[in-house]
Amino acid sequence: MVCKYHVLMCTGSKLVGDKKGTCHTRQGVELVKKLVEEIEERDLGSEIIVSATSCYGVCDKGPIMVVYPDGVWYGGLTPERVAKIAEDHLENGQAVKEFQI
Ligand code: FES
């Protein structure tokens, strides 16, 4: 399988302490669903893997998305930002600078 991008999205679960971290309370799970919808609408499902992850330790900048192999970190995600990243970065290969952390 050839994977163009692996996208990691924090859903805010934590291994210790409060199990529902910042990205969870800021709709992290819903944002993963939004990204999957955007990928499916663009017929990119065979090229992109999406993984829901636990905390990255930068909760104040959440919700967080990391796009590999580019190593680009996005923060402050909203449904609108996720759609913009899907179009510009995942579909057209142009990272969205204004959302990077
Ligand atoms: S809960 Fe997402 S970075 Fe900490």
Residue 77 belongs to domain with CATH number: 3.40.30.10
Q: Which atom of ligand 1 is nearest to the CA of 14?
A: 1
Pocket of ligand 1 (CB under 6 A): 10, 12, 21-23, 55-59, 62, 64
- Domain span holding position 58: 5-99
pTM of the predicted model as reported, rounded to 2 decimal places: 0.93
Nearest residue by C-alpha to atom 1 in ligand 1:
12
- Nearest by Cα to 6 from 88, 85, 71, 61: 71
Quote the number of domains for the chain.
1
How many angstroms does the Cα of residue 33 sit away from the middle of ligand 1?
Answer: 17
Structure tokens at 100: 């990077």
Q: Assign 3-class secondary structure to 41-69.
A: HCCCCCCEEEEEEECCCCHHHCCCEEEEC
Indicate left, alpha or beta for 9 from its phi (over 0: left) and psi (-120 to 50: alpha): beta
Strands 5-13 and 65-68: antiparallel
- What average pLDDT is seen over the chain? 94
Q: Identify the pLDDT of residue 14.
A: 74
DSSP, collapsed to helix, strand or coil, labels residue 91 as helix
Q: Identify the pLDDT of residue 17.
A: 66
pLDDT tens-digit profile of 44-88? 999 999 999 999 999 999 999 999 999 999 999 999 999 999 999
